[in-house]
Amino acid sequence: MSDQNTKFHAARWNEPLIMELSEMGARGIKPPVVDDEISNIVGDVVGDLPEGARRSKLPTLPEVPQHRVLRHFLRLSQMCMGFDVATDMMGTCTMKYSPKVHEHIARSSKLADLHPLQNVKSLQGLLELMHSFNQMMCEVSGMDEFTFQPASGAQGIYTNACLIRAYHESRGELDKRNEIITTSFSHPADAATPSVAGFKVITLMPGEMGFAEIDALKAAVSERTAGLMLTNPEDTGQYNPRIKEFVDLVHEAGGLCAYDQANGNPLLGIVRAGDTGFDMCQFNLHKTFSAPHGALGMGCAAVGVKSHLQKFLPRPLIVRDHSEGYFLDYNQEDGIEKIRAFVGNVHAVLKAYSWMMSLGAEGLRAVAETAVLNNNYMLTRLRELKGVDIPWPVNNYPKLEQVRYSFQKLFEETGITSHDIIDRMVDYGVQHTMTSHVPMLVPEPLTIEPGESLTLDEMDQMVKILSNIIDEAYDCPEKIKDAPHNASTTRIDADVSEDPKCWAFTHRSFERKRTAWSADDRTKIERHGGGY
Amino acid sequence: MEKEAGFIHPYVPNAAPEQRRKILDAIGVKNPVDLYSSVPEELRVSGLLNLPEPLESEHNLRDHVEKLIAKNQSTKEYLNFCGAGCWQHSVPAICDEITGRGEFLTAYAGGTYSDHGKNQAIFEFQSLIGELVGMDVVSTPTYDMGAAVNSALLMACRITKRRGILLPKSIGSDRISQITGFTKPVSDIEFIDTHPDTGLMDLDHLKNKLTKNIGAVYFENPSFFGLIESRGEEISELIHAAGALMVVGVDPISLGVLASPGDYGADLVCGDIQPLGIHMYAGGGCAGFIASRDEERFVAEFPMIMVSIAPGATNDDFGFAWSTMQRTSYDKRHESEDYAGTTQWLWGIGAAVYLSLMGPVGMDELGRGIMQRARYAAEQINQLEGASVPYLEKPFFKEFIVDFSESNKRVSEINEMLFERGIFAGKDLSSDCPWISQSALYCITEVHGKSEIDFLIRCLKESLS
């Protein structure tokens, strides 16, 4: 295996803020000039604006020549560890290769320069693609229809909560059915979004196997139960084998079951939400289906429902009329209110469709199995390292696509936290991993999900890096405490961004507040968390 | 599992037989299926899914998908005059260059050190929007403008501890739908009438509605119908005197020439950044923002990730951190009043590039040019037999209503006739704004020169005759 990463140093351009690059009079681009004939006819329209409507002085935007703007943002891009340039095993994020060919197709004006409300006859290619993908997703999930309107996993889960609300409302039961049940190791959005939708949320805590037990569910289920919303496998990589009983119990109580498949990568072609009895589900096309993560979006959640919930899907629906072709049905009827503008992030849909078309059924299954194989390979190697534990030792089931490791022993023996480790990882030229979502039930957690894209050599390098860091924790912990050393910027004073007197979310605020950075009465934070 | 041979594919290297064997040996299991023992047999798919035969070669895949989308006609082929929440503007090549960079495109949840450049680019986005809207705090990008408005309205209700929200009737039906769905568990919405003389909010009606239950008043400037509100200060005084907060929705591309909402008393500002260098993508280009003053009580209520600058280890060095994550649903879970997640950061980076390129003079020239072109088009259309532009004498930006009711033709018919002539016409308002008779919303931007506008006028004339 290559040892290239021990000599890594990130690009460190010391690139100033764009405002600091401003030179009076410089132009980055010129908009098209108005035809003289138009100006002659209408005059200076802005000059005719009433006092309160006109801008009093030009906005204080920077004046920067074109190549310098390009250089500025290219340098920033070079100080960013996308999957294209660095190994990324961020747990719960399903990092994988986003095929370049999809990007090149999606840049076509045939997709990029479509208006959502242009005559539907001119959108037939897009609607056909989305309609076909809808059918493919139904096959993957066992659902009967999908919407691609939500732009992220969280918004997809929120959509599920709204569907549950609409269902009970339509039956006149929303007043009494106001509770959603989730689990502590489901994504925070499974607890947060039903709360936003107006539900009371009950969170089941894990039993000794590391997932919620059936008795805990029995105690929580009642005539007030509106639904169950959870991931499986959970963010720990553990699949709850009694999931069918969970679903049945909630159904018997009159609730609906929503399967958050943000962790669906290991189950493609293996398990279908519909076969398990779920009424609805959502997949993250920007994770499992290879659409790029976009530096935190543009994502897309595919939300699927069984036929009894079809009427509640948000409008418009894509409908095929065998004589007329495809059209968008805006008829509101029982549909829930709009989740996102228009029909959603269609570029993510095109990329997910392309990915599935290039893999087929056998390929999808190979993706799932390989993600599980790679994860178990990492687990086999990492469990041998000093100071590392696998939580819930009584749970002998193999993990699926990720593992939430505990570095508690390492912390007790060296004082190095999991947050210290992730800062140090960057020095080795890899993206850091995730610690854990809240609640942090696993002490000193690191959640690692290798996915199906990486090679054995890349996985071995990651093991070597973590092994090196563990050695450093015992031998020279200060080297980790001061890390990173070779990153794109030096270690920051992170108290500043937590302190209302100091934080600055814009350049104008920064200029006003930076003097407070050296004040004596600054808020000191004992211990910074990390890893969302 | 059935096939010991494995699966050879460029995207899944370890599915190949040799690699698979190495991994199985290292783990100490015989077959991948052994790793699924937690999944009960009866829940598993037997055999393979019924999916289309794969197109394993890149060439064949590309051919297939490109032929599919070739069935679309884009706004590069047809002349487009439709806006209504997603607008055709010129996209600088450098915006595409940067948003296409793999380092950004395939980044995700990295932090201060691994994704320094991503965080700085988003901080630049926040800074540049802050200058446009006249606010010190700007959020990371939201899903779209509707999502920004949703969050801002509930922020205002939490800050004022009041349930009431006032919306003008003159906002788009999709946005009303978004707001209603999102806010209904915790808020009550009431509507303010539109004054028939101005097409803007009826301020007498607003005064009557401003009870002590009202926490937030929202209006758009320009309005959904393109009309410019010049009474911002007066409105803000009314709202503040009633103890409510003023939430203003803007089109950021107008702010080179139109008053900055921070200057007329807005407490929270929202908008869509799609006009700022982002392709429309049939609506996939939409993304939003929220801005406020730098007050702790405001910042505490922002639901999303917020990127703050922070000092580095040496002089003049700096970095960026996700600030006060305890505000967000990542920490609050079941106690959340709003939710955070992956949104549309890549488009935020694109908008930062756009505003850096345009600079103050570019935004001024662009705004002026759009207003001149739109006025020219509206005046020409108004002269056509069977078409009129209500509120033509009032100031408007980029969009305006065309009333076809005197033509005795339905908008849908007119739009079909224009389509046959290679034009995507303005949005038909008669279906979802039933109080407006046969009318359409037309959009004119810098992509429309005199010849394009004159072609529209000719085709409209033919369609109306």
Cβ distance of B228 and A357 shorter than 8 Å: no
- Is residue A389, in this structure, part of any structural domain at all? no
Contact with chain A for residue B213, Cβ under 8 A: no
Is the ipTM value over 0.85, yes or no?
yes
Chain B residues closer than 8 Å to A340 by CB: 143-144, 146-147, 178, 286
Same domain? For A41 and A145 the reply is no
Chain A residues closer than 8 Å to B88 by CB: 113, 115
| CATH label of the domain that carries residue A223 | 3.40.640.10
Residue A445 DSSP label: E
- Is residue A95, in this structure, part of any structural domain at all? no
Contact with chain A for residue B450, Cβ under 8 A: yes
DSSP per-residue string spanning A189-203: HHHHHHHHTT-EEEE
Contact with chain A for residue B420, Cβ under 8 A: no
Same domain? For A36 and A132 the reply is no
Same domain? For A73 and A136 the reply is no
How many residue pairs bridge chain A and chain B with CB atoms within 8 Å of each other? 764
- Is residue A32, in this structure, part of any structural domain at all? yes
Q: Which of B146, B263, B313 sits opposite A56 (nearest CB)?
A: B263
Same domain? For A236 and A160 the reply is yes
% chain B with pLDDT above 70: 99
What is the residue range of A137's domain? 124-358
Contact with chain B for residue A507, Cβ under 8 A: yes
Chain B residues closer than 8 Å to A192 by CB: 329, 332-334, 336, 339-340
Write down the pTM of the prediction.
Answer: 0.98
Residue showing tokens 């050296």: A518
Cβ distance of B342 and A299 shorter than 8 Å: yes
> Average pLDDT over chain B, rounded to whole?
96
Band (B2; pLDDT cuts 50, 70, 90): very low
Q: Which of A312, A330, A358 is the last residue of a domain?
A: A358
Band (B1; pLDDT cuts 50, 70, 90): very low
Beta bridge partners of B166: B190, B217
Chain A residues 75-134 with CB within 8 Å of chain B: 75-86, 88, 90, 93, 95-101, 103-105, 107-119, 121-126, 128-129
Band (B5; pLDDT cuts 50, 70, 90): low
% chain B with pLDDT above 90: 96
Topology of domain B80-88+364-464 in CATH is: Aspartate Aminotransferase, domain 1 (3.90.1150)
Say if residue B130's pLDDT is above 90: yes
Q: Which of A107, A195, A437 sits opposite B330 (nearest CB)?
A: A437
Full strand arrangement of the beta sheet holding B399-403: B399-403, B439-443, B427-428
Band (B4; pLDDT cuts 50, 70, 90): low
The pLDDT value given to residue A4 = 55
- Is residue A191, in this structure, part of any structural domain at all? yes
Domain ranges in chain B are: 13-67, 80-88+364-464, 93-354
Q: Which of B72, B279, B310 sits opposite A123 (nearest CB)?
A: B72
What are the backbone angles phi and psi of residue B168, rounded to the nearest 5°? -70, 150
The pLDDT value given to residue A524 = 84
Contact with chain B for residue A456, Cβ under 8 A: yes
Residue A265 DSSP label: G
The pLDDT value given to residue A520 = 83
The per-residue pLDDT for range B272-321, each reduced to its tens digit, is 999 999 999 999 999 999 999 999 999 999 999 999 999 998 878 999 99
DSSP per-residue string spanning A274-319: HHHT-SEEEEETTTTT----TTT----EEEEE-GGGGGGSPSPEEE
The per-residue pLDDT for range B43-62, each reduced to its tens digit, is 999 999 999 999 999 999 99
Q: Which of A332, A358, A384 is the last residue of a domain?
A: A358
Cβ distance of B144 and A340 shorter than 8 Å: yes
> What is the number of structural domains in chain A?
3
- Is residue A67, in this structure, part of any structural domain at all? yes
Cβ distance of A112 and B359 shorter than 8 Å: no
Contact with chain B for residue A523, Cβ under 8 A: no
How far does chain B reach from its first CA to its final CA, in angstroms? 69
The per-residue pLDDT for range B25-41, each reduced to its tens digit, is 999 999 999 999 999 99
Q: Which of B3, B55, B281 sits opposite A346 (nearest CB)?
A: B281
Cβ distance of A73 and B127 shorter than 8 Å: no
Chain A residues 323-352 with CB within 8 Å of chain B: 330, 336-348, 350
Contact with chain A for residue B212, Cβ under 8 A: no
Computed over its alpha carbons, how large is the radius of gyration of chain A?
Answer: 26
- Is residue A282, in this structure, part of any structural domain at all? yes
- Is residue A442, in this structure, part of any structural domain at all? no
Each of the 532 residues of chain A gets a pLDDT tens digit; together they read 445 567 899 999 999 999 999 999 999 999 999 999 999 999 999 999 999 999 999 999 999 999 999 999 999 999 999 999 999 999 999 999 999 999 999 999 999 999 999 999 999 999 999 999 999 999 999 999 999 999 999 999 999 999 999 999 999 999 999 999 999 999 999 999 999 999 999 999 999 999 999 999 999 999 999 999 999 999 999 999 999 999 999 999 999 999 999 999 999 999 999 999 999 999 999 999 999 999 999 999 999 999 999 999 999 999 999 888 999 999 999 999 999 999 999 999 999 999 999 999 999 999 999 999 999 999 999 999 999 999 999 999 999 999 999 999 999 999 999 999 999 999 999 999 999 999 999 999 999 999 999 999 999 999 999 999 999 999 999 999 999 999 999 999 999 999 999 999 999 999 999 999 998 888 888 777 654 5
Suggest the residue from B23, B108, B286, B357 to mutate for an interface test with chain A (most A CBs closer than 10 A). Answer: B108
Cβ distance of B368 and A46 shorter than 8 Å: yes
Cβ distance of A151 and B343 shorter than 8 Å: yes
Beta bridge partners of A305: A145, A280
Same domain? For A132 and A68 the reply is no
Contact with chain B for residue A431, Cβ under 8 A: yes
Chain B residues closer than 8 Å to A195 by CB: 333-337
- Is residue A162, in this structure, part of any structural domain at all? yes
Same domain? For A142 and A32 the reply is no
CATH class of B93-354: alpha beta
The per-residue pLDDT for range B269-285, each reduced to its tens digit, is 999 999 999 999 999 99
Contact with chain A for residue B357, Cβ under 8 A: yes
Q: Which of A358, A386, A407 is the last residue of a domain?
A: A358
